[in-house]
Every structure is written in structure tokens, then in C-alpha cells.
């Protein structure tokens, strides 16, 4: 909740702005649960150290052309309190994204529909429904 309104945290990746808006995500490491991976990724990719998992939204399977095999993406609703409406974060990880620069902003669910890169927006309608009933 930001300014009394439910908002979604999105980013554009520096140097890849043509991809449009994205949301944080990543890979589950060995011996890590989905929720542990989620909290680690949000810390690495957005610098958010405290977040609460509110709900599991679902999954989406697809063939990754880059990797040449099927991947499964899991979608969650998280809540986090931040003070800045916009901020920039340099990714701190032990993976290929270390040092990548993400420009974040909170965007409203009201008004113009949110369009995210590729399949990332797959569960936005479910998230909106859960927000409306919370």
C-alpha cells in the first residue's frame, strides 16, 4: 500500500528499456524453497530486506529459447513498505545479473492497465482481485 492506494513495484532495466516494465524475479538455488528464493531475489534485485509473502498466484511453464529447455515461473504477491516512489538499485548477486541497474517505481492498479514484458503480467488480474478483496 502506497499513499493509501495499492500499487505494484515495477522496474526498467538500464540499457534494456525497450523491454518495458518488469517485476523482480529469478532462479531457485539448490536447497532453497520457493519462498526463500523469492525473498532472496527481492533483496538482491530491489534492495528490499523486509517483505511479507501474502499469496501464491500461480505458475507458468514455457520453453526458454535462450536456455533451450522448459522453465516454470512462479508468481507471488508480496508486501513491502518503502518510502521512495522511485529509486534505482544495482543488483547484488552471485549470478550473471550482478551489477545490472534497475530503475524502480510504484505504479497504480487504477486507470490504465499495467503492461509488463512478455509473460510477466500473466497473474495481474488475479493479483488485482486479491487486492480488491483484502
What digits encode the pLDDT tens for the residues 29-66?
A: 999 999 999 999 999 999 999 999 999 999 999 888 88
CATH code at 96? 3.90.79.10
Domain presence at residue 88: yes
Q: Tell me which residue range forms the domain holding 122.
A: 7-133
Domain presence at residue 125: yes
Q: Is the pTM of this model over 0.85?
A: yes
How many domains does the chain divide into? 1
What digits encode the pLDDT tens for the residues 86-110?
A: 999 999 988 889 999 999 999 987 7
Domain presence at residue 1: no
Q: With contact defined as beta carbons under 8 Å apart, do 51 and 78 qualify?
A: yes
Amino acid at each position: 500500500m502506497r499513499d493509501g492506494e495499492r500499487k505494484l513495484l515495477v522496474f526498467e532495466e538500464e540499457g534494456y528499456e525497450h523491454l518495458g516494465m518488469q517485476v523482480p524475479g529469478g532462479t531457485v538455488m539448490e536447497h532453497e524453497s520457493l519462498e526463500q528464493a523469492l525473498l532472496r531475489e527481492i533483496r538482491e534485485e530491489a534492495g528490499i530486506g523486509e517483505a511479507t509473502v501474502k499469496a501464491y498466484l500461480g505458475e507458468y511453464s514455457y520453453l526458454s529459447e535462450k536456455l533451450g529447455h522448459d522453465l516454470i515461473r512462479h508468481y507471488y504477491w508480496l508486501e513491502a513498505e518503502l518510502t521512495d516512489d522511485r529509486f534505482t538499485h544495482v543488483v547484488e548477486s552471485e549470478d550473471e545479473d550482478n551489477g545490472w541497474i534497475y530503475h524502480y517505481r510504484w505504479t497504480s492498479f487504477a486507470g490504465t492497465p499495467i503492461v509488463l514484458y512478455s509473460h510477466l503480467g500473466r497473474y495481474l488480474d488475479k493479483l488485482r482481485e486479491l487486492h480488491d478483496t483484502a
